[in-house]
């Protein structure tokens, strides 16, 4: 018998898969919250059944999107906090652990924002890619410190998360220039920083983030614009310490070529097998193109991030639901 997974968990998983809930930190927060709901609404008859239920829920959440390591890191954090000899003790400890995770996530984001803000001077222009709450936290902290900041916001095809960034920045009163991705190199001449988030950071300092980040970083280097990655330590990918690579999500081709536009490409040959549409959601920026990784524990050159990773995740192995 498969353990019962609460409908709220299934719904959260669906929202993550369809990107209703998106961005590495937000996904981690929603996953921890879903596990708390599973614990809260359990009808497990005994402790073993409770643990099985929570593990099953974690698996459903895990199987949504493969690239942001904040998701398995969140699941692992909550599951490892399950403690107690009765269902009610297990329930209470799991809920408390999920709450602790969510609070720490928020605090880490505030803390890294202050670190990142120190890199921004009054009057600086920041170029962004995609929508990252960690990156925005740096701008928010700079504004709180009374600095004037302007932004050049890349649209970020195909999902246009740049719109979310632009909207947030405008709500804070930041002057925004919205550009198509292809205009980035031209506008780098006007930028003092490239500021992006991360879905995962590898042990060698490679940064996995929204597709297009690596090209932007290479162009920024050529233009002499420093690249800053804002990433709380929940984005560090422990498996990469033992040689594993980070899976890059391939999303549906309809995001690139919607059905309604397909005939523009295929003409009459709607079943043209010679046409391939690829839609990788993320890419890897090699560490040499990254100037600083800003975390809640301070800023690091990408080459030294492995030290922090070992300190925080040294003992971490296996799937989140493995004891
Ligand atoms: C989002 C993305 C963001 C990181 C960091 O991709 O690449 O830069 O997740 O975001 P998608 P945050 O839209 O495909 O989820 O700093 O909020 O964790």
pLDDT in tens, 104-136: 999 999 999 999 999 999 999 999 999 999 999
Residues 163 and 192 in one domain: yes
- Helical (H) or strand (E) element with 127: strand 125-128
pLDDT in tens, 69-103: 999 999 999 999 999 999 999 999 999 999 999 99
Token pair 């330590």 is at which residue? 233
Q: What are the φ and ψ backbone dihedral angles of 182, each rounded to 5 degrees?
A: -65, -15
Contact between 87 and 46 under an 8 Å Cβ cutoff? The reply is yes
Question: Whose C-alpha lies nearest to ligand 1, atom 11?
Answer: 23
Residues 163 and 187 in one domain: yes
Residues in contact with ligand 1 by the CB-under-6-Å rule are 22-26, 68, 130, 132-135, 161, 197-199, 209-210, 281
Decide which of 72, 95, 110 is a domain's last residue.
110
Residues 289 and 150 in one domain: yes
Q: Any residues with CB less than 8 A from the CB of 276 and at least 6 apart, and which?
A: none
Structure tokens given for 124: 């600086």
Residues 106 and 170 in one domain: no
Distance (Å) of CA 297 to CA 51, 113, 285 = 33, 11, 22
- Ligand 1 centre from 208 Cα, in Å? 10
Mean pLDDT over each residue of the chain, to the nearest integer? 96
Structure tokens given for 148: 């004037």
How many folded domains does the chain comprise? Answer: 2
Instruction: Give me the interface pTM, i.e. the ipTM.
Output: 0.99
Structure tokens given for 83: 């403690």
Residues 181 and 304 in one domain: yes
Residues 38 and 177 in one domain: no
Domain that holds residue 51: 7-110
Structure tokens given for 220: 């920024």
CATH number of the domain encompassing residue 42: 1.20.120.420
The answer to the question of residue 40 being in a domain is yes
Angle at 199 between CA 174 and CA 301, to 5 degrees: 80
One DSSP character per residue, 156-223 reads -TTTTTHHHHHHHHHHTT--EEEE-GGGHHHHHTT-SEEEE--SEE-TTS-EEEETTHHHHHHHHHHH
State which ligand 1 atom lies nearest to the alpha carbon of 129.
8
Residues 88 and 122 in one domain: no
* Secondary structure (3-state) at 77: helix
Residues 15 and 90 in one domain: yes
pLDDT in tens, 211-235: 999 999 999 999 999 999 999 999 9
Over its length of 323 residues, how does the chain's per-residue pLDDT go in tens digits? 778 899 999 999 999 999 999 999 999 999 999 999 999 999 999 999 999 999 999 999 999 999 999 999 999 999 999 999 999 999 999 999 999 999 999 999 999 999 999 999 999 999 999 999 999 999 999 999 999 999 999 999 999 999 999 999 999 999 999 999 999 999 999 999 999 999 999 999 999 999 999 999 999 999 999 999 999 999 999 999 999 999 999 999 999 999 999 999 999 887 788 999 999 999 999 999 999 999 999 999 999 999 999 999 987 777 887 76
Catalytic residue flag (residue 272): no
Instruction: Print burial letters for 296-315: b (CB count within 10 Å at least 16), e (below 16).
Output: beebbebeebbebbeebbee
Contact between 27 and 131 under an 8 Å Cβ cutoff? The reply is no
Contact between 234 and 73 under an 8 Å Cβ cutoff? The reply is yes
| Closest of 245, 229, 249 to residue 237, by C-alpha | 245
Q: Distance between CA atoms of 323 and 320, rounded to whole angstroms?
A: 8
Mutate to test the pocket of ligand 1, among 16, 66, 68 (most ligand atoms within 8 A of CB): 68
Catalytic residue flag (residue 189): no
Distance (Å) of CA 23 to CA 147, 191, 192, 209, 282 = 26, 24, 25, 10, 12
């Amino acid at each position: 018998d498969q353990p019962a997974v609460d409908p709220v968990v299934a719904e959260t998983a669906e929202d993550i898969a369809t990107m209703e809930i998106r961005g590495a930190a937000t996904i981690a927060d929603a996953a921890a919250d879903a596990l708390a709901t599973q614990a809260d609404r359990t009808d497990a008859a005994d402790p073993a059944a409770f643990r099985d239920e929570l593990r099953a829920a974690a698996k459903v959440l895990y199987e949504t999107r493969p690239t942001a390591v904040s998701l398995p890191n969140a699941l692992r954090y909550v599951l490892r906090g399950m403690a107690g000899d009765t269902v009610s003790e297990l329930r209470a400890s799991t809920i408390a652990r999920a709450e602790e995770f969510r609070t720490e996530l928020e605090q880490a984001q505030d803390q890294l924002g202050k670190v990142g803000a120190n890199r921004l001077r009054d009057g600086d222009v920041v170029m962004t890619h995609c929508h990252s709450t960690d990156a925005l936290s740096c701008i928010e902290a700079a504004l709180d410190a009374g600095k004037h900041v302007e932004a050049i916001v890349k649209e970020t095809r195909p999902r246009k998360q740049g719109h979310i960034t632009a909207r947030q920045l405008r709500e804070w009163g930041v002057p925004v220039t919205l550009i198509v991705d292809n205009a980035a190199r031209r506008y780098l001449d006007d930028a003092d920083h490239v500021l992006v988030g991360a879905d995962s950071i590898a042990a060698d300092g490679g940064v996995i983030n929204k597709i297009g980040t690596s090209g932007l970083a290479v162009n920024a280097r050529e233009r002499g614009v420093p690249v800053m990655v804002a990433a709380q330590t929940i984005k560090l990918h422990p498996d990469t310490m033992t040689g594993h690579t980070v899976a890059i999500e391939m999303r549906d081709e309809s995001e690139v070529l919607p059905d309604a536009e397909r005939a523009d490409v295929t003409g009459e040959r709607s079943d043209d097998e010679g046409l391939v549409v690829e839609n990788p959601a993320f890419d890897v920026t090699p560490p040499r193109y990254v100037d600083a990784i800003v975390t809640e524990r301070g800023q690091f050159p990408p080459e030294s991030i492995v030290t922090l990773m070992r300190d925080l995740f040294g003992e971490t192995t296996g799937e989140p639901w493995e004891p």
